Chains A and B, each alone.
Chain A
Amino acid sequence: MTVHEMKHAASDSARLEAVGGRLSRVDGPAKITGAAHYAFEQRLEGLTHAVLVGATIAAGKVTAIDTRAAETAPGVLAVLTPDTIMALKTASDWFGTPPPDRPYCPLAREVTFSGQHVAAVVAETFEQAVAAAALVKVWYDETPAIVDLSDGNAGDGIAIDAMTKEWGDAEAAFAEAPVRVCAAYNTPREFQVAMEPHGLIARWQGDQLTIWEPSQWLDGMARTYAEWFGIPFENVRLVSPYIGGGFGSKALALAHSAVAAAAARMLGRPVKLVLTRPQNFTSYGGRAATRQTVAIGADRQGKIQSIVHRGVNETAVDGMWVEPLGSVTSIMYATPNFSSKQNVVRVNTVVPGAKRAPGENPSAFGIECAIDELAYELGLDPLEIRLINYAERDPHAKKAWSTRQLREAFATGAEAFGWAKRSREPRSMRDGHQLVGWGVAAGTYPVRRAYGEAMVKLLSDGSAEVESSSIDMGQGTYTILAQTAAETLGVPVEKVSVKLGDSRLARAGVTGGSRLAGVMTGAVYKAAGQALDELIGLALSDPRSPFHGLQANTLVVKDGRIASPRGDGPELSVAELMGMLGCEKIEAKGDTVPASFTREQRYNNYTTIAMALPHTEGDYSRHSWCAHFVEVRVDEDFGTVRVSRVVSALDSGRLYNPKLAESQWKGGIIMGIGQALLEEGIVDRRHGRIVNGNLADYMLPTNADIPDIQTISVGIPDPHSSALGGKGVGELGIVGVAPAIANAVFHATGKRVRDLPITLEKLI
């Protein structure tokens, strides 16, 4: 089959191409043939290459940098240090908080974490830059570092009052409860590890800056570049046509981005800077290490009386990250008494950041293990205790759920998994020398909503274009927007082309928190509707139209042909009609932004996260839900754990494309298997370095680690969550996987491992 034929085969059936159809990825042909050019794969005249030099201490001062050898090395154009790089201005944060009026230097004089960039070399070729970077000599005045949460000098940290959630008298109710469990749950520093490293190409033309950079947020990053260089927002163009995975890591312009853009300005030539794989472990933050204590008090029937939750996450010496650890704890189960508080502790690390389901992921690890422990304490089935304490409404917001198909997820998942055949006692199922365990856990993620816009164009040949500066990093944005436009306009999907990833196109906010699909399908639906209305309006009113004078209020477009709804009168193709009208194209920019918004508010809507709509706004609390059923096999002698089976039932509301949603769910589940069994950033206690910052030592799941995974959709359209009824997909899948595995390991072995990852030494 040719690429062209594939496109047709994929759209043979009308069902496939409609919203909800299992259309194959429209960007797939480019990705499987190598034709897809990712951001920093552009060919540019005069391109130079930059390589960074990172600090080898975690705390202290850079006292001197000797650049002489590097400067005279072959091909070297510049060696940048804190003293020689151009001054930038401090940019606002992602809330849009006005920045302090002080210069920003992306190369550090004061080192606060190992690997922090201290110098950069720019040369004609990549090889020359690499070689010269090795010649830069840096001297330090090292001071003691706090390497991680377990460091003796780490302390209790700073209380984050905004994280406190309390109702009833949780401590008293816990003390009085007849059945109690209380335990500590830890998750280590984890990394996003997108297969495409971070990097960029920066090019200046006068005071116009073009940045080719993988990005989850073109407009937000363009704002940062504009503020750094003191140029208008409109002067910055971000281009990011395909993104090789982000998982939360690619939403911000970072220090290395600033170095490349500054170098390009200083040299007057385009600069390409790509982080080495080890630098991808130190140049931006992964998931913060977390510690939680979960105490649950219940009556003898298993009804929860109180939950007391305390959490801590690490943050940077020079930057703040709060990983909201009470987010699932406070909504998963009904309880009359509740208390959750959280501290953050500063350690010498790069500022931690967002990794798939920040907050919900570790939060679920705590509460979903704790409820399992309570089930064993009471002699109840782990599924039963979850149903006994099912929250019929949001216990924290005290609002109705918009939709919550969690009961259905438990029932459907249990049926498909065969949960009824589980024997209750730990260590009671085995297969030869393998101990077999079955575990369950639930997950959830809030529906984050925002306002969006899109451009839809109907062209004279009957084809359509959708344009947006939103992005596709594998979630399927290209495909679902083509489906949305095709269905709304009534044209075949292969006639729709979608352009994304260029900040010159209609604006878009951040792609994160699983919000993009809901925001953008809503915007495209609206813009396409406007374009269609305009076409029909012209067809009825223009004297050149064959529909002119027809006593019809409207017309229908289907399969690219336009006719009256009654079927009387002419029927012709959209292209023929536009030809008769002499109409080159119809353009409609549609948005879901409130009409009352000022220019400033619109700008902030796309360039900050401050305008996002709370998931508990109005009368409802909006979340996606899931239940994971997992089988593990533990080697009795060696303690090695293998996940042998996963069945997950998920409620993401209406699915815009089930084929792609299933892929994303499975991707989340697989990342959860990595989190449960493999992934851990190991910090050297002397110098605070990540010692396993590469793809062999920081262990990711490989194909050989992953069994068959069955995902089942139990969602129903949720009109309160988005225009077309979808909730979130991308983050949901990972939430609850690690506790389901930990619970299965307990069932297999009788050992409760509360400290991720579950490695063999913890089981022997």
Chain B
Amino acid sequence: MTSQHIIDPPEDGHFRNGGNNQPSPTTLSIDLTINGETHSLDIEPRVTLLDALRERLALTGTKKGCDQGQCGACTVHVDGERVLACLTLAAQVEGRSITTIEGLADADGTLHAVQAAFLEQDAFQCGYCTPGQIMSAVACIREGHAGSDEDIREYMAGNLCRCGAYPHIVAAVRQAARELRS
């Protein structure tokens, strides 16, 4: 559920599905700048950035793993910083510069150093956490948190990978950080 009300438990102790009628939402017209392009959207204020990307703009590279801010699969950049798109309303980021995995490589197809390193180190299996890992890794390096393996492990710990690609993700971030420094 997207909304949470603080209410007393019912007498029998069961919370049932249900609650107050929610006010009928209005529609907002917003412009989002994503990967350098402007997209105009008419959406309800409750639409998350993640659902705007995936359901309205066909940018499905950004993944939904939990919709609760717990897995990192939905990581995108807003003004260069990593942000969880499932915990961000689309309307909040109007006028900001959003980068998703689709916008990371150069226009001519040249891969970002982190993308190339992920491929070379086999830093993924199913690939579902991967866009989030890569967006996090780019930010992690930019933040200066890729100086040691310890640091990489710690600052990449918000991106879960059930396939267990962690050691290879560390190797890929280490490699990309080195390449980007030189």
Contact = CB atoms under 8 A, between A and B. Distances in A.
A159 interface: no
A127 B73 CA distance: 20
A13 B128 CA distance: 29
Nearest to A672: B164
A30 B104 CA distance: 13
A134 B18 contact: yes
B126 A24 contact: no
Contacts of A660: 122, 125
Contacts of A69: 18, 21
Nearest to B117: A32
A284 B9 CA distance: 28
B161 A2 contact: no
A3 B122 contact: no
B17 A703 contact: no
Interface string A238-277: 0000111101000000000000000000000000001011
B145 interface: no
Interface in B127-159: 127-131, 134, 152-154, 156-159
Nearest to B48: A127
A35 interface: yes
A43 to B, nearest CB: 6
B70 A277 contact: yes
B167 A709 contact: yes
B70 A695 contact: yes
A593 interface: no
Nearest to B1: A134
A6 B119 contact: yes
Interface in B159-173: 159-170
Contacts of A139: 16
A384 interface: no
Interface string B24-55: 11000000000000000000101100010011
Given A74-B25, A134-B17, A196-B63, A33 B165 contact: no
B137 to A, nearest CB: 11
B153 to A, nearest CB: 5
B63 to A, nearest CB: 7
Interface in A622-674: 659-660, 662-664, 666-671
A205 B47 CA distance: 30
Residue among A54, A130, A197, A703 with max Cβ neighbours from chain B (10 Å):
A703
A3 B163 CA distance: 24
B51 A126 contact: yes
A708 interface: yes
B101 A34 contact: yes
A695 B74 CA distance: 14
Given A127-B2, A669-B164, A474 B24 contact: no
A659 B63 CA distance: 25
Contacts of B58: 43
Contacts of B153: 703-704, 706
A404 interface: no
B54 to A, nearest CB: 7
Nearest to A29: B119
A708 B110 CA distance: 30
A135 B134 contact: no
B130 A700 contact: no
Given A33-B101, A127-B47, A475-B125, A197 B130 contact: no
B125 A667 contact: yes
A57 B14 CA distance: 8
A1 interface: yes
B122 A33 contact: no
A25 B166 CA distance: 17
A581 interface: no
A133 interface: yes
A130 B115 CA distance: 35
Interface string A21-33: 0001101111111
Given A126-B51, A130-B2, A703-B159, A3 B109 contact: yes
B156 A703 contact: yes
B16 A138 contact: yes
A474 B15 CA distance: 39
B30 to A, nearest CB: 15
A668 B70 contact: no
Interface string B106-128: 00111100011011101011111
B24 A74 contact: yes
A144 to B, nearest CB: 14
A700 B162 contact: yes
Contacts of B127: 27-28, 30-32, 36, 242, 244, 474
A25 B156 CA distance: 23
Contact of A663 (B122, B128, B162): B122
A703 B119 contact: no
Contacts of B131: 32, 34
A35 B61 contact: yes
B160 A695 contact: yes
B70 A694 contact: yes
Contacts of A708: 167
Contacts of B124: 25, 28, 31-32, 474
A642 B37 CA distance: 46
A247 B161 CA distance: 13
B75 interface: no
A452 B182 CA distance: 50
Contacts of A54: 17
Contacts of A131: 2-3, 22, 46
A659 B123 CA distance: 11
Contacts of B160: 195, 695, 700, 702
A57 B73 CA distance: 31
A195 B51 contact: no
Nearest to B159: A703
A37 interface: yes
B180 interface: no
A704 B152 CA distance: 8
A193 interface: yes
A579 B162 CA distance: 48
B122 A695 contact: no
Contacts of A421: none
A654 B127 CA distance: 25
B171 to A, nearest CB: 9
A605 B8 CA distance: 55
Contacts of A244: 63, 126-128
A600 B128 CA distance: 37
B47 to A, nearest CB: 6
Contact of B122 (A125, A243, A659): A659
A701 interface: yes
Interface string A747-764: 000000000000000000
Nearest to B109: A2
17 contacts: A33-B61, A33-B101, A38-B128, A43-B58, A56-B16, A73-B22, A131-B3, A135-B17, A142-B14, A195-B63, A195-B73, A196-B63, A277-B65, A666-B168, A700-B162, A703-B166, A706-B164
Given A276-B67, A703-B166, 11 more contacts: A31-B130, A32-B118, A73-B22, A131-B2, A131-B46, A135-B19, A196-B65, A245-B162, A475-B125, A703-B153, A706-B166
Interface of A: 1-4, 6, 24-25, 27-38, 41, 43, 53-54, 56-57, 66, 69, 73-74, 125-127, 130-131, 133-140, 142, 192-197, 242-245, 247, 274, 276-277, 473-476, 659-660, 662-664, 666-671, 686-687, 694-696, 700-706, 708-709
Q: Which 8 A-B pairs have the closest CB atoms?
A: A34-B61, A244-B128, A474-B125, A670-B164, A31-B127, A667-B164, A474-B126, A34-B101
Interface of B: 1-3, 13-19, 21-22, 24-25, 44, 46-47, 51, 54-55, 58-68, 70-71, 73, 100-102, 104-105, 108-111, 115-116, 118-120, 122, 124-131, 134, 152-154, 156-170
